[in-house]
Structure 1
Amino acid sequence: MIPVHLERAVFGIYATHSLHFADRSGVFVHLADHGSATAAELSGALGVDGETLERLLLVLVSLQVLTRTEGRYALAEGTRPYLDSREPHYLLGFVDHLVGSTAQRFGQVHDYLSRGKAAVDAELPDPFATLYRDDDSVRRFLTAMWQLSFHVSHELARLADLGDVRRLVDVGGASGPFSVAALLAYPRLRSTVFDLPQVGPYLAERAEAYELGDRLTFAGGDFFRDPLPEGDCVAFGYILSDWDDDTCEGLLRKAYDACRPGGRVLVMERLFDPDRRGPLSTAVMNLSMHLETQGRHRTPEEYLGLLRRAGFADCAVRRSTADKHLLVGRRSPVTVGAR
């Protein structure tokens, strides 16, 4: 008998795609609304082939995503918040990104093993040019980032303790998951998302949806070429894991310059355990960073080292109950000259 953990690893590709196709077909929303259904009822309601659907459903039952009782399928206990696209914890937009974008890059792993990332990437387009290649790609990527980030951003905003902050600068803030969560938690706060110009319309959609008015604004630019907007708090939400150490240190130095004396920087990231043996989500996304960006995931001490080298003091880790955590550094309240 194959060990269960090895069996799940071997068949993981089927698990991901079964989730993806069931979601796209409307299975999870239908079950959320109706409680349970037979495969025939589902195929009739959704207008899909019954045999193919039931084979997908049986995979999801074996994964304990669905239950099957007397031929009726239902969402397994505790899964609805992650499977129902109307729920804030909905996760399958990220699965859509994995299937539609990340999976296409897995052929590069063989080349990386054979020739190294630098040599292979020299022949490929810039990773963010690919992610942002057209409107559909931009929306898919931003939707995935929102769905991965918004629910945990509420907790991270509380951990950040922004009650004394008036101007947040959200660097690479995408469609604003952290900014929106922070603005909802702190009524006196204003936030500027600084990101590539094509992100602007998507941020405007979020500002309108959450009725934030001029409290949420957008500044278009390139954080490598342009200075960052000034604020008393500068945030990097899942940005530093896209880049190597030297690049990250340079970005943090720009944040130091943009941060008013006495202000702070926030770094939100998945963290490796100190021995780098897990957690699984960080290890998996660390490989994804290798495929899709020029970065990696780090241990808490590695991030604290980057913050200190950029000039920040009183650096600390504040862990959430989820898979993304907060690191904080402060700029001295008095300007003491060049670092």
Structure 2
Amino acid sequence: LVSEVLFAACELGVFDLLAEAPEPLGAVAVAARLGTSSHGTELLLDTCVSLKLLQAETRRGKALYQNTELSSTYLVRASPKCQGNMLRYLARTTYLCWGHLAQAVRDGKNQYPEAFGVPSDELFTAIYRSEGERLQFMRALQDVWSVSGRRVLAAFDLSPFPLICDVGGCSGALAKECTSLYPGCQVTVFDIPEVVQTAKEHFSFLDDPRISFREGDFFKDPLPEADLYILARVLHDWTDTRCSHLLARVHRACKPGGGVLVIESLLDADGRGPLTTQLYSLNMLVQTEGRERTPAQYCALLAPAGFRDVQCRRTGGIYDAILARR
């Protein structure tokens, strides 16, 4: 129910309207500008107040609403940290897969066939099942890295790695955070042709001469040469077997003295927390072939692939970082 309140308020444009208004607005005024019912609007606004997404004050017996710092930062389109694209993706895709959670637990498979009627033998064919869905997913990841990118890239000093490959780097949003934090580096974003083409058409990261794009399938095609390979939100999509295959390929491609940076949300050692990561792991069940893992489980994947000196850093944010050397 809470999720639907958030989705509805974003879809209707509540937070953008209040951000643009020169002063707090009453429910009737909000309804008039949004083209919604005053009754339903008042109920939605008051619920958003309880969720700390709006604040209200009473003047002459009338409630007036405005955004809180939380909604101003993350729910207003004009904010550089707005998560609106991610919320739209969650509402239109993830939330529908979660409606089949019980079935996912029964059969251990993602729920794209049940939720959308599409086969999921090839995972990203299902995830990118239309051009619009692919673009929405890429915009959602851009939102993620606008908030979490700098923190995870600063978990270790990456300045010794001048040539970086962001494997499965999507729109280039994380690559842009990387060149911002480490101005001396060059980043190659490696992703499938459809993603690279969409990135070139809809995202502005190509304006940075330090960022380049290379087309390919990271399970099959030669990886670009690099000192450091970034696997951000990649391994959690896949089974241990496929992760091992990918890590072995990265190790073979990596320059001597180079390394791999794994960016994922880490489970506690016993797998029973943090709650957010446990929920992400269930999300991997309903949407992918993978799961979230503990530091020890990632070490058990990295070592057989040939990596050494594995270091895990919890960032205090949603995503954590693991650095391993060739």
Task: Out of 138-147 and 101-110, give the one that drifted further.
Answer: 101-110
The alpha-carbon distance between structure 1 residues 15 and 325, as it changes in their structure 2 partners (threshold 3 A), is same
Q: How does 1:170-189 map to 2 (within 5 A)?
A: 170-189=166-185
The alpha-carbon distance between structure 1 residues 290 and 102, as it changes in their structure 2 partners (threshold 3 A), is same
Aligned pair 1:271/2:246, yes or no? no
Aligned pair 1:148/2:144, yes or no? yes
Give the residue type in structure 1 aligned to 2:40: T
2:43 match: 55
Q: Distance in 2 between matches of 1:118 and 1:74?
A: 40
The alpha-carbon distance between structure 1 residues 68 and 129, as it changes in their structure 2 partners (threshold 3 A), is same
> What's the C-alpha RMSD, in Å, of the aligned pairs?
2.3
Deviation (angstroms), 1:28? 0.6
Q: How does 1:304-319 map to 2 (within 5 A)?
A: 304-319=299-314
Q: Name the SS for the 1:268 alignment partner.
A: strand
The alpha-carbon distance between structure 1 residues 212 and 243, as it changes in their structure 2 partners (threshold 3 A), is same
Q: TM-score, normalised by structure 1?
A: 0.86
Q: Name the SS for the 2:261 alignment partner.
A: strand
Deviation (angstroms), 1:119? 11
Give the residue type in structure 2 aligned to 1:286: S
Give the residue type in structure 1 aligned to 2:56: R
Q: TM-score, normalised by structure 2?
A: 0.90
CA deviation profile, 1:164-186 (whole Å, cap 9, x unmatched): 22211100111122211011122
Task: Out of 199-208 and 178-187, give the one that drifted further.
Answer: 199-208
Q: Is the 8 A contact 1:83 1:90 kept in 2?
A: yes
Deviation (angstroms), 1:59? 2.1
Which structure has more RCO (C-alpha within 8 Å, separation ≥ 6)? 2
Aligned residues: 317
Give the residue type in structure 2 aligned to 1:62: S
Deviation (angstroms), 1:121? 7.4
2:233 match: 238
Question: Is there any run of 5+ residues in structure 2 with no aligned partner, and where?
Answer: none
Deviation (angstroms), 1:209? 5.2
Aligned pair 1:247/2:242, yes or no? yes
1:28 match: 15
Q: Is the 8 A contact 1:16 1:95 kept in 2?
A: no
Q: Name the SS for the 1:43 alignment partner.
A: helix
Task: Out of 292-301 and 19-28, give the one that drifted further.
Answer: 19-28
Q: Distance in 2 between matches of 1:156 and 1:107?
A: 31
The alpha-carbon distance between structure 1 residues 207 and 107, as it changes in their structure 2 partners (threshold 3 A), is closer
Q: Name the SS for the 2:257 alignment partner.
A: strand
1:83 to 75, 86, 92: 75
Q: Is the 8 A contact 2:5 2:44 kept in 1?
A: yes
2:33 match: 45
Q: Distance in 2 between matches of 1:117 and 1:167?
A: 37
Q: Distance in 2 between matches of 1:58 and 1:119?
A: 35
Q: How does 1:1-339 map to 2 (within 5 A)?
A: 14-34=1-21, 35-70=23-58, 71-117=63-109, 124-125=119-120, 126-204=122-200, 208=204, 211-213=207-209, 215-331=210-326
Q: Is the 8 A contact 1:176 1:206 kept in 2?
A: no
Q: Distance in 2 between matches of 1:325 and 1:278?
A: 14
Q: Distance in 2 between matches of 1:120 and 1:75?
A: 36
Q: Name the SS for the 2:255 alignment partner.
A: strand
Q: Distance in 1 between matches of 2:263 and 2:105?
A: 30
Q: Is the 8 A contact 1:20 1:92 kept in 2?
A: no
CA deviation profile, 1:94-114 (whole Å, cap 9, x unmatched): 221111011222343233344
Task: Out of 26-35 and 142-151, give the one that drifted further.
Answer: 26-35
Deviation (angstroms), 1:118? 8.6
The alpha-carbon distance between structure 1 residues 28 and 222, as it changes in their structure 2 partners (threshold 3 A), is same
Q: Distance in 2 between matches of 1:31 and 1:119?
A: 37
Deviation (angstroms), 1:326? 0.6
Question: Is there any run of 5+ residues in structure 1 with no aligned partner, and where?
Answer: 1-13, 332-339
The alpha-carbon distance between structure 1 residues 166 and 115, as it changes in their structure 2 partners (threshold 3 A), is closer
Give the residue type in structure 1 aligned to 2:97: R
The alpha-carbon distance between structure 1 residues 139 and 315, as it changes in their structure 2 partners (threshold 3 A), is same
Q: Distance in 2 between matches of 1:202 and 1:242?
A: 21
Deviation (angstroms), 1:87? 1.9
The alpha-carbon distance between structure 1 residues 283 and 67, as it changes in their structure 2 partners (threshold 3 A), is same
Give the residue type in structure 2 aligned to 1:239: V
Q: Distance in 1 between matches of 2:265 and 2:107?
A: 28
